[in-house]
Structure 1
Amino acid sequence: MTLLREAFLDRVRERGEYDTQQEAERAARVVLALLGAHLVGEERAELAARLPETYALVLLSPLQAAEPLSAERFVRATAAWIEGATDETAKWDVGAVFSSVADAAGESLTRRVLLQLPVGYDLLFGHPEPTV
C-alpha cells in the first residue's frame, strides 16, 4: 500500500472510528464511487488527481447519476451499498470519507465541488457554510 493511500485510509478510519482498515476501505470505495457519479468536468479530474490512485480510479469510474441525489438520498444510497448499514451509519461513513476528501482537495476545490452538488452536501463535507 502506498504511503499516500495509507495516509488517506488512516484518516478515513480515524474519522469513521472503524475497527478495521477493511471497513474504512469499504466506506471509501462506496462513497467515492457515488460521488464520482455526481461530478463532471475539471472538478472531477482535479479531485481525482489529489487522491491516491486507487481512489482516483474509483472516483473516475464510468458511473453517471441519472439525476443529482439530494444529500439525504446520497446517504440512503450509501446505506444501500454497504451491507448492514443504516441511514445513520451511512451518514457517518459519508462524513468520514467526504471530510478526508475535503482535506485532500483543499478549500478552493472543495468549494467548486460543492457547487456541482445539490444543497446540503456542505454539511456532509464538514463545511457548513454557504458555498455561493
Structure 2
Amino acid sequence: MTTLTPQKPATPKPAGGIPAPAPAAATRNDSWHRLIDAVRESGQYPTRSEAESVTRVVLSALGGHIVGDERVDLARALPEEAARVVASQIPVTRSLTAAEFVESVAVRIEGATPATARWDVSSVLSVLPDLVGDALVTRLLAQLPPGYALLFGRAELSLA
C-alpha cells in the first residue's frame, strides 16, 4: 500500500507569472526566490541557478542605466538581493540604445549571442512589471532611450 504525503498547497499565481506572496510570513528572501522562479519560467531555463545568474547579469546592466528617484524606487520595490545588484552599479556616462544594451549583456554571459542575450534580457525585464508595478516601469522607460519597452514586454508606440 502506498502512503501519500500531504503536499503543501500551491501558492496561486496571477496571470503575470510571479506567484502571489505567501501570507505575511514571506520574507524578502522568499521574494528573491519568487523572482528567480518567475525568470526561470519566463525564460524556460533548465535550472534555478541559470535563471539566477541571468537575473543578476541583467539587473546589474540595468542598474547602471537607471538613476535618481527611479533607481531608489526600483531598489525599494525589488527583493533585497536584487536591490543590492541594482544599487551597487555605477551610473553609466552614456545611455545605450536597446540593441547596445542587449549586446552589453551578451558580453557578460559566457557563450551568449545577441539573440540569446535578447532572450535573457526579456526573460528578466518582462517579469518586473508584475513585481514592481506598471507605474514604476513607465517611469523607468521614460529614462531609457526608445526601444527598451519591448524588452519589458510592452509595445512601444511612437508618434506619427
TM-score range, shorter chain: over 0.9
1:112-132 deviations in Å (ceiling 9; x for gaps): 000000000000000113499
Structure ranking higher in helix proportion: 1
Partner of 1:66: 93
Alpha-carbon shift at residue 45 of structure 1 (Å): 0.8
Q: Which amino acid aligns with 1:32?
A: L
Any runs of at least 4 consecutive aligned residues in structure 1 with deviations exceeding 6 A, and if so which? Answer: none
Matches within 5 A, 1:1-40: 2-40=29-67
1:11-70 deviations in Å (ceiling 9; x for gaps): 000001101111111111111111010011111111111111001000001322120000
Residues in 2 aligned to 1:19 and 1:94: alpha-carbon distance in whole angstroms: 17
Residues in 2 aligned to 1:59 and 1:92: alpha-carbon distance in whole angstroms: 20
In 2 relative to 1, CA 131–34 (structure 1 residues): closer, same or farther, beyond 3 Å?
A: farther
Residue 67 of structure 1 aligns to a residue in which SS?
A: coil
Residues in 1 aligned to 2:79 and 2:158: alpha-carbon distance in whole angstroms: 26
Aligned pair 1:112/2:139, yes or no? Answer: yes
Q: Which amino acid aligns with 2:93?
A: A
Residue 129 of structure 2 aligns to a residue in which SS?
A: helix
Q: What fraction of aligned residue pairs are identical, expressed as a percent?
A: 46
Query: Which structure exhibits the higher relative contact order, with contacts defined as CA atoms closer than 8 Å and separated by 6 or more residues?
Result: 1
Partner of 2:116: 89
Residues in 1 aligned to 2:125 and 2:32: alpha-carbon distance in whole angstroms: 15
Q: Which amino acid aligns with 1:119?
A: P
Larger radius of gyration: 2
Residues in 2 aligned to 1:45 and 1:66: alpha-carbon distance in whole angstroms: 18
Q: Which amino acid aligns with 2:153?
A: G
Partner of 2:70: 43
Q: Say if 2:43 and 2:119, in contact at 8 Å, map to a contact too.
A: yes
TM-score by length of 1: 0.94
Partner of 1:53: 80
Q: Say if 2:60 and 2:89, in contact at 8 Å, map to a contact too.
A: no
